Structure 1
Amino acid sequence: MIIESIVIKNFKSHRDTKIEFNTGISIIMGDNGAGKSSILEAVSFALFKQHSGKKLEQLIRTDHQNPDGKNKMSVELEFKSNGRTYRVLRERDKNSSRAKLEIKEGEGFQPLATGDKQVTDDIQGLLEMDGDLFLNAVYVRQGEIANLVNKTPSEKKQVIGKLLGIESLEKAWKNMLPLMNQYETKKIRLDGKLEDLDGLNSEIKMKKDEKNTIHQDIKEISQEIEKIDEELIQINKENSSLDHDRSVYERAVNGIESKKQIINNLQLDQTHLNKQITEILLKEDEIKIIKPKLSKLKVLKTLKQSLENLKQLQKNKKHLGDVLGKIEEFKTILEDNNKFYIEYSDLSDEIRDLDIKREPFEGSRKLMNQHQSRREQTLKKMNLSHNNIVKVIQEYNKKIGTNYSVVEELESYIKTTKPELAGKIENITVKINNIEKEISSLEIQNNNLTKPIGELENIKDQCPVCKSPIDSDKRTELINDYTSQIETNRNRMDQLKDELKDLKSEKQILDLKLKNIQSVNIELLMEQLKNLEEGRKELMTLKNSIKEFEGQISTLDDIDNLLNLKKKGLLEIKPRYERYLVAEGSLNSLGNPNELQDELLTIEDDENILKEQVTSLIEATEGSVENLDNEIQYLEDLNQTYQQLSGAIDQKENLMNRSEQVNQDLEEEKVKLDKLVHDINEVDYNEENHRKIKNDLTLKNSEFSDLNGKKQGLIGKESGLDSYLDGLEIKLKSYKNFEMEVRNLKDFLKLLDHIREIYGKDGVQKDLRNISRPIIEQHTRDFFEKFNFEYSDIKLDEDYDVTVFGPSGESNLDMISGGEKIAVALALRLGITQTLSGGNLELIMLDEPTIHLDAYRRQELIELLKKMSIIPQMIIVTHDPDIEEAADHIIRVKKEEGESIISE
């Protein structure tokens, strides 16, 4: 890529700037703050929309004429790539932006792309690099060349790593560790929560077993209830049947007696009909006697029915009294156990609240143990680092003859001594070179002087130099002069050789000292110190964490102690709580006590009425109730006799006709009697069995009520267990989620560890260095060779430390001259640029390349830049006037009233 021109409007301090660029070296010269670097930033903005401002609006120029920055900012750049010319324009105002890319066709430009993203994408495709790569490859920032000269090997490695993008990989590798620690901490907390999973499963199993037992009991009771219900149906059926049979039996028995009496009477009538006629008068007297007695029959029958009704009422009254007694008994149980029921419910709620309160502290003990383990490991690492520092310092002291115990003091000594030794060696090397040159010159002079002496000895009368005639005195004088000069030279050479020997001996000593000092790896010691400092910081962090965990564990222990106390209290009152539930269920099954009480009062009222009625009836019968049934039967028989007598008297006139009728009636009554006997035989009624069935019915009803009450109590208890199990299942579900989360975290941590390993020094970083280093080395070698120094080769080791090979053998950067160092640094930076640009380097932009260089090295860099013809286009931003000597084209920038102005 070659930049041809740029037009900048309202960009930072430039109101209206246009610059034509040529190939060769273009110098953008101006004072600090004049707006020089803004031109390079405008190039980067035009190509990739990259800038140093936090917001695009900050790039729009503001001044007293435009205080709100409402002007439209624009940058238009023409550049050449792969033989074609392109023009890119980017504009921006306060609310919108516009971008377009055009290609030159003939004398005009044709559109290629519009829109920020599309333009940026197309330029990246044209240049085969993005904005970051452009800045690292083409744009050499302030101080980069000085850093490659002055920085330590490890610092230079970091600088080059940043250019290659390795620094971001290292940063990613470091930044992943806290993230992994966060997820590891989260996993440990979840592991802590899962410690109670077995207990929770056991409790769920115990509660389910208890529920199954209750459910089985309910099922068995339900089966018993169903069985009793079936038995009640059968007993009620039998009782109803027996009630019917009893009614039939009683009617039949009464009918038989009546029929027998009728038959007997008819027989008597038949036998004594004639006698009756004569005895009618006597029977009339008998009727008078019987009639007063018959008035008692109706009263006795009413009394009998009333007594039976009274007996039934008393049975019902006793049953209701028993039920109300049970209700009172269950109420007493509820009252006695109500506080335990409330206390049990409150304790259950408190236990659930404590379980919830406990959750944030689960896993604290495990976390603290892990942190304590990490603290021990950190202490071991710190001890190891400390011992290594002490050991290495002792070795270095022994090697360089010092007695330092502090790394900083050793570092200060190395930093001071190394350049001093390098300077001394450089001075001695210069002296040695000068002496060797002088000796070589003297040897050449002696060789040149020896030749004319021989010629003077052979040719007597001619000067060997100018060929003019000479006499013997002059010849002798010349020979003596030449011989004297040779002797003087020899004496000087002897003196110089002694000095050379001393200098080489001194240089050898200094070289050894420098080599020993260079072997001191301060970076290693600083790394160990850094490890110690990081260890101290980590120990402080771990100490705070452990203290925090101790507080959490103390809180957890307090909660657990309180939980155990609550659970113990819960177990103690559980029987009373269950008695309450059973009593409550039973009470619900017995019915409404008010309704039962009303029913009882009604029965008692009916009983009192019946008692009064019975008392009145007994008084009416004059207390004759001991043989009530016999007396009723007697009176009924007597009534029958009365009826017969009455009939006989009434039919006195028809007595003869009745005799025939009696005979007929007798036959009919016998038939009826036979039928009644047959009915009794068919009914086969047994009063004892009937009484037993009624007793069984009462017992079964009582048993049915008791079982229903027990069933309701168990249902209530089962419902309570269902609610409790629902809570446990919800908690178990959350634990299952924890388990899934722990598995996911394990897989995720494994993935993060693998990714971190890839990003580490032995992963992509190493691969990137291994791939790029030989390419950078080759490009660096190619550039360095073009500087025409007396070196045969240049090598980069794995840390990008440079070694050169020259007349005196292998040398590192500290052993070569300042100018050579600058040449190596520039060649290395150009080699990196060539590598990043894919081997097609046409443009390089340098921002203040001489900054941070001393005067000597700055001059050396300027001399190198003067010779730069290896790159088609170089743009240099500087305030150093000495660089003007290297320029093909100078662009001067100055600032007047806040506006950058260009002059060429």
Structure 2
Amino acid sequence: MRFDRIRLKNFKPYADTDLDLGDGVTVIHGLNGSGKSSLLEACFFALYGAKALDGTLEDVVTNGEEESEIELWFTHAGEEYRVERRIRLSGERATTAKCVLEGSTVPEGSVDGARDVRTFVVDLLRMDADAFVNCAYVRQGEVNKLINATPTERQDMIDDLLQLGKLEEYRERARNARLGVEDVLSDKRGGLRELAAQVEEKEETNPYERLNALQTELKEVKAAIERYETQREKAKQSRDDAVSTLDDYEKKREELADLDDDIDSLKSDIAETEEKRETLRENAREARERTDELESTVADAIAESELDTAADDAIAARVTALDERRDELTDSIQELRERAQGFENQSSNLAEKATDLESRAEQKRTRADELERKHESDTSKLADQREKLGDLDDRVEALEARFEDVPVDRGDASAHLADLRERKSAIRDELETVRTKLRSTRQRVEEAERLLGEGKCPECGQSVDDSPHVDTLDEDRTRVRELDAEREELEAEIESLGDDIERAESLVDAENELGQLREQRDSITSLVDQREETLAEKAEQAEAARDAADEHEEKAEELRDAAEQTASKAEESRDEISELQAKREQVDANEERLERIQSLRDEIADTEARLDRISERRSDLGELNDERRERLGEKQRRRRELREDVDESQIRQAKEKKSNAEEYLEQVEPELESLAERRTKLDNDIGGAKTDIRRLEELHEKRDHVAERVEALESLHEETEELEAMYGDLRAELRRRNVETLERMLNETFDLVYANDAYARIRLDGEYELTVYQKDGQALDPEQLSGGERALFNLSLRCAIYRLLAEGIEGAAPTPPLILDEPTVFLDSGHVGRLVDLVEEMRGFGVRQIIIVSHDDELVGAADDLVTVEKDPTSNRSTVRHEEIDALAAVESVADD
């Protein structure tokens, strides 16, 4: 895997940067704090997103900007890919606005979304962000990470890199599967034992024998029921015959009784009907008298109505004439009512309009009063605001005076403060570097002085006599004094900058307050101008409102006069309506007399018709009594015949047979009920026996099925045990091979970059415990090495792991570039030269791309491509550029030094 190109926009200190990266060794060189490490962090972030950041997503976006863009082009296994991420600030929170990965092997051409892109990169490189750091990315200050790790942590790191963690994952899955099978197998065995016990319990009840006995007993009960039911039917037939005979005699007796009743009823009806005929004769006499009385009343009514005759035509003609007169009067009354209603509506509308105008006049006067009060209030407020405006002018003048004796112009205080803070931050970074070098150099001096006290060389640990390394101790002591003086100078400069920053912060506060006061003054000035304009407008509006009120009152008076005139016309129309209504009432009275005559004539006709009906009714009743007398004679003859047919001895015999049959039926029913209950119980018992048999057969089948399942689970359990052991053994074997290979590569690398007579070899045991052996066989913990040796030892270990990972994969190595970020922090000049040898060694092993970030000029000699990073102190923005180098001359220069 190789980085081809990185493009940044507003990423940390980079405003707009585009950098091509090639094969070989690329050294990114520049001063501390210039932004070198940010280039590597951008590549790391492009691959893994927020997982690759030490800080938060908000730290990615350049100060003062709202959006950041990162694009990375890289090649893996011969295929080209591009990752693009865009981060957007919204308030104080940053979010991923865009994240896309493109490549020819990507499904559907691209992957969208931060989570999906990170998942794709992890699958493609076969390592997550942590594995990337542990394998190929030696981050600044973490050069001793592997040696400081515990053996277990180191084992986990290397196992994960070499994909051995997958084997442990598979072994754990096999273990979980085995435990799961054990749980299921235990449940199934318990179920099998329970089923066997249930089968044994069911077989002890002998359901088959019990079923045969119950079926035999049921057959006997059914035969007995059949015999009793046959005898019961014979008894029922004898009883029914006797009942029939008794019913026949009873019917004859009932018929005799009915005939007696009918005869008495006919006699009574005949007598009652004769009484009705007599009543009808009396009613007819009264109807004739009523007819004479009505005819006399009609004659009197005709005389009052001025009719010449009581003929129907004359009455109808008179009624028609009265109807026409009433309609004429009604139409006239309706016209007058509509006319009066119109006058009243008009009068009401005029009165309402007058009231409305009076109300509007009152509103206008109220509005005029409000405007006059508002005018007085605004005049008072205007005076207050003019006074406040004068106070603001005084405060603005006082704040502006603070900028007269300072070297900063108004408006530049914030930029001046930012410059001071940036300068202080840069000096702090430089101070931290000096402190780190000072601690490292002091440690070397202390270690050297200890060894000298023991009579040993501080470099190789041998006798101090004739050692070429003793003279370097004085150089280190001089270097300690120089670094200590540089530290004190930087600390004093930081303290001085602190005072300047406090003064600058005070100017920024004054500048901010001055801007706020100016805005407030402009706002009040605008408000004063507006109120001066509105004062005259409000006075004019008040005067106009009072004029309008006077006009409304004059118009309202005119409308009220018109309303009174219209009301008078409405009253005149109402008087005319009263006169016409009196005439119409006279017409109604004449119509009522005619209707009375007509009603009397109708009543006379009804009375005459009633006389006819009474006569017909008397005739019908006479014929009805004649028919009743005939039926009476027939029923008397039938009664004599029935009295002769009734025989009391036959009735006694029938009653005796009925009693005997009923007695037998009473005795047989309980027996049949008992047998039916016994039959039902036997049916139920047989059903239960059949259910037990069916349940027993089901238990047999279920037991056999569970037994087969237990046998299969036992076989599966053996397979999972074998699989679990196989994954464990395979991981142990692969780890053993990896430990042997890693130990060999580590010794090869360490011998090449640190060849001396002090150490014989390095041992890495199966638990990834590291031990350094001296020539005399003494074992040393890596922590006992000097600072430079320990750092170089760790770099050798990282490179060996990188080689192992690259060579441990069949075919093309999937490893990313080897990245070293400030690897010389803990190295003196002699060890830096050995680091150059280590880089050359890795190139010799075929590592295609090595990227080194360093401020150390000595590493430039190992570069195939030199990238210089510079930061503009004014804008605080970093830029990169490729430098043309003569690699051979650089190497020779380093060798001469």
The question of a shared fold, defined as TM-score above 0.5 by the shorter chain, is answered with no
TM-score (norm 2): 0.39
